[in-house]
Structure 1
Amino acid sequence: MGKMNRLWMAMVVLATLWVAGCGAQQTGQTGTAGTSDKIVIGAALPDFDDKWLSYLQDGMRQYEQSQDGVEVIYVDAMNDASKQLSQVENFIQQKVNAIIMVPVDTTSAPNMVDKANQAGIPIVVVNRQYDGVEAATAYVGSESITAGVMEMEEVAKLLDHKGNIAIINGQMGQEAQIKRTEGNKQVIAQHPDLKVVLEGTGEWDRAKGMTLMENWIQSGQHIDAVVSNNDEMAIGAIMALEAAGKLNDVIVAGVDATPDALEYVKAGKLKVTVFQNATGQGQGGLEVAIKAAKGEAVEKFTWIPYELVTEDNVDEYVQKWQ
């Protein structure tokens, strides 16, 4: 082949590659933000390993699958607020159409909301409320203090309004930990014969709740009820009490009414839990984010109510998860 022919062939190959590259730029790739025919939502979640939050994410995925032309990018902050900030900044750089955020903590959340607002991207806060949340496009969730009040009111009734209470906190500083415990203590303060004798954190984790309860049992402090910020820690406490042969002497309460917890309610081991609709919060958060991405008006607050669960009505809530 002559030199001119080789040069001509090389020019043809280069031109073909250039056209292909332009075409790829114009059409975009599936799963990236900024395509004209798809709404892309960034979902900044605090912890994929958290059991209750996994149900919230399931609710989002179910709603996503029911929508045409919607894609959600899910990221895990691994309970690291600085990591979540970086993830939100990445969503902004990608020019997603909207952001959903369940904050790792309520201290860092306002900064992330401000960054989204400055970029003109709607941001919907889900599940964890905080002072100033109204700066976000919308909030979808429940009022955590209500769960703590409902939980403790039922425990107080079961104790005939007298006894020693041990409170298991979730991750310290998180909105649900602060408000649920505040709700517990509001009720306790109304009854002079109820007293908090022990308080510690199980960081939302079953194994850590079990270890904390084991330490309390070894302390010898008399306990009439264990009131936990969530069901996972309550189940850990039940396991420790059962192993020590003390479960029949202690009322245990939790929050969330997860499928695992409902089995403990049915068995008579978990006396009280409060249903927090994880699926409803996930679906509701994504529904609001899609509307905001389309430029539609949305309510500033969408409340998903809590519901008390005991042995009397537990079967109704088992059916909700089926």
Structure 2
Amino acid sequence: MTRLLKVGIAAAVAFTLTACGTTAGTPEETPADGGTTTQAGGSEAPAAGATEEYEPGDVVTPKDGKKLKIGAAFPILDQFLQTVADGMQARADEAGVELVVVSAQERADVQLSQIENFISQGMDAIIVLPQDTDATDPITSAVTAADIPLVYVNRRPAALPPEVPYVGSDSLIAGHLQMEALGELAGWEGNVAILQGDPSQEAAQMRTQGCKDIIEEHEGLNLIREQAGNWYRDRGLAITENWIQSGDKIDIICSNNDEMALGAIQALKAAGQLEDVLIGGVDATSDALVAMEAGELEVTVFQDAKGQGAGGVDTAIKLHNGDPVPSVIDVPYLLVTPENIDEFK
């Protein structure tokens, strides 16, 4: 199969966030359908369990005039997550809030210890990007027991209480967008391999499922390989080298992120097979956009890192203010192709 460069562009959707803050009303205020509740004076506030879509608005500031100190616990500060941290810092600076960022170097035990330190330091709010989305109960319990506002960002916990908000994107949609575009390029025929992120994390689980959903809808697409590269470029390179050596014909690589996709590109270039494989990633990192302009990466999916960071800070401040917030603040994904790449530079 020859390499194609045209990709159908997904329609952009406008998103508006009308309110954020503490999640739940009283039991009698919370409707069974997880919609909105009516507050005194007739205004509507999001109920526990509600989802709203996010668009950056005016900066949120503490109503009590306090100089807030917010702790942000990251699993690691790679290229993408550093951009999330930068978005948080920019928003914190606008709001006059002190932000303390720590990285756990991908160790869940270290992250829990760092969060316990935040609690002992008396942080006014805590933002967490969990290392292990299947094991966040100790974090949630510790922070909420200390009566400190808690916001999860970017990586959605498997167990997310409705009163603890999450700011991020629906990873299932990312998998759908990239695989739909790759499938269309391939004429809905070919062998597919999936490069998966860390299997313990919701983003890897759901992006992989999104790829599989589209594959299962088309008889001409066959999933023949799936392996975890834990988000790293060198792992994407090594895994793809092994796939090449196996002799299996691979027509499409659906990668959970750009870093692993870039590793796959390196392996295929070295083997002289890049022209025969369609590759998609997620995140729209600067390196990925360079690869796309070079004709090496077919598609990626923009994840608004700065928007997630800003939304996390806004939500933390609103929780401090006692304002209502929905349980989920959705920051939408957008498909990036050679046709619309200039919008994402």
> What's the CA shift for 1:133?
1.4
Q: Show CA shifts across 1:112-131 (max 9, x none).
A: 11211111111000011133
Corresponding residue for residue 102 of structure 1: 129
* Cα distance in 2, alignment partners of residues 302 and 172 from structure 1: 24
> What's the CA shift for 1:212?
1.0
Q: Show CA shifts across 1:139-167 (max 9, x none).
A: 10001111001111111111111100011
* Cα distance in 2, alignment partners of residues 156 and 113 from structure 1: 40
Tell me the SS of whatever aligns to 2:133: coil
Corresponding residue for residue 298 of structure 1: 325
Q: Determine if the alignment matches structure 1 residue 51 to structure 2 residue 79.
A: yes
* % same residue: 46
The structure in which a higher percent of residues are helix is 1
Corresponding residue for residue 221 of structure 2: 194
Q: Show CA shifts across 1:164-208 (max 9, x none).
A: 001101112111110000111011111111111111121111111
> What's the CA shift for 1:249?
0.4
* Cα distance in 2, alignment partners of residues 295 and 86 from structure 1: 27
Q: Show CA shifts across 1:71-92 (max 9, x none).
A: 1111111111111111111111
Tell me the SS of whatever aligns to 1:199: strand
Give, as a single letter, the amino acid of the residue that structure 1 aligns with 2:185. L
Computing the radius of gyration from Cα coordinates, the structure with the larger value is: 1
Corresponding residue for residue 272 of structure 1: 299
Q: Which runs of 5+ in 2 are unaligned?
A: 1-64
TM-score (norm: length of structure 2): 0.79
* Cα distance in 2, alignment partners of residues 75 and 199 from structure 1: 32
Contact 1:113-1:136 at 8 Å conserved across structures: no
Tell me the SS of whatever aligns to 1:134: coil
Q: Determine if the alignment matches structure 1 residue 66 to structure 2 residue 90.
A: no
* Cα distance in 2, alignment partners of residues 135 and 42 from structure 1: 21
Corresponding residue for residue 173 of structure 2: 146
> Given the alignment, which residue of 170, 179, 187 partners 2:206?
179
* Cα distance in 1, alignment partners of residues 143 and 267 from structure 2: 45
More off after superposition, 174-183 vs 128-137: 128-137
Q: Determine if the alignment matches structure 1 residue 38 to structure 2 residue 67.
A: yes
Corresponding residue for residue 246 of structure 1: 273
Corresponding residue for residue 29 of structure 1: none
Q: Determine if the alignment matches structure 1 residue 211 to structure 2 residue 238.
A: yes
Q: Show CA shifts across 1:35-58 (max 9, x none).
A: x9420111011002x211111011
> What's the CA shift for 1:136?
4.9
> What's the CA shift for 1:98?
0.5
Tell me the SS of whatever aligns to 2:161: helix
Give the total of aligned pairs. 281
* Cα distance in 1, alignment partners of residues 213 and 319 from structure 2: 37
Contact 1:124-1:136 at 8 Å conserved across structures: no
Tell me the SS of whatever aligns to 1:66: helix
Give, as a single letter, the amino acid of the residue that structure 1 aligns with 2:330. W
* Cα distance in 1, alignment partners of residues 101 and 321 from structure 2: 20
Give the ranges of 4+ consecutive aligned residues of structure 1 lying more than 6 Å apart after TM superposition.
none
Corresponding residue for residue 17 of structure 1: none
Corresponding residue for residue 120 of structure 1: 147
TM-score (norm: length of structure 1): 0.85
Corresponding residue for residue 290 of structure 2: 263
> Given the alignment, which residue of 91, 102, 110 partners 1:83?
110
Q: Show CA shifts across 1:57-80 (max 9, x none).
A: 111111122122x11111111111
* Cα distance in 2, alignment partners of residues 305 and 189 from structure 1: 24
Tell me the SS of whatever aligns to 2:70: strand
Contact 1:208-1:236 at 8 Å conserved across structures: yes
Corresponding residue for residue 170 of structure 1: 197
Corresponding residue for residue 157 of structure 2: 130
Give, as a single letter, the amino acid of the residue that structure 2 aligns with 1:137. V
Tell me the SS of whatever aligns to 1:132: coil
Q: Show CA shifts across 1:253-288 (max 9, x none).
A: 000111111111111110011000001001110111
